[in-house]
Structure 1
């Protein structure tokens, strides 16, 4: 079970790297008002959602302690991120504030995962 859990943790990290990496590649464009949500951001958010659900399920099945409040907050942030990226994915330019919000929520999600024990 540990190997399976570690595999999905790895996939979860790849998802966050894709989401945050897509955001960071658009930082210069954001300064010029031409940022857009790239496909890597959408794929990363979906990967995070699926692997996160699987990880909670694996931990519950293994009788591990799961902090449901933490998971609920992370899920809520991810749903907002996923909704924004999905709805605006085909637009040539995305508002700076909206694009920055996705970066902020992504970063908050990372720090919640790492710091909330």
Structure 2
């Protein structure tokens, strides 16, 4: 079961890399006001959601400690990210503030995962 947990952790990291990578590749365009949500950002966020739910379930099954408040905060941030990216995914240009918010929430999600014990 530990191998399965580690596999999902790896996939979770791939998802966040796609989301953050998509954001970082659009930083120059954000400065010019032409940034848009690329498909990698949506797919990365969805991957994070699916693998995160699987990780919580697998850890609960193994009676590992799961900080439900931390998971709830991370889930809330991810739902906001997913909603913004999904709704605005077909627009040619996304407002700088909105695009920056997705980057900020993604970064906050990473730091919550790493720093909150």
Question: Any residues of structure 2 matched to 1:66-81 within 5 Å, and which?
Answer: 66-81=66-81
User: How far 1:109 sits from its partner (Å)?
Assistant: 0.1
TM-score normalized by the length of structure 1? 1.00
| Runs of 5+ consecutive residues of structure 1 not aligned to the other structure | none
In 2: Cα distance, 1:12 partner to 1:54 partner = 10
Over 4 Å off, 4+ runs: none
Question: Any residues of structure 2 matched to 1:1-117 within 5 Å, and which?
Answer: 1-117=1-117
User: How far 1:5 sits from its partner (Å)?
Assistant: 0.1
Secondary structure at 1:47's aligned position in 2?
Answer: helix
RMSD: 0.2
| Runs of 5+ consecutive residues of structure 2 not aligned to the other structure | none
Q: Give the number of equivalent residue pairs.
A: 117
TM-score normalized by the length of structure 2? 1.00
In 2: Cα distance, 1:62 partner to 1:25 partner = 38
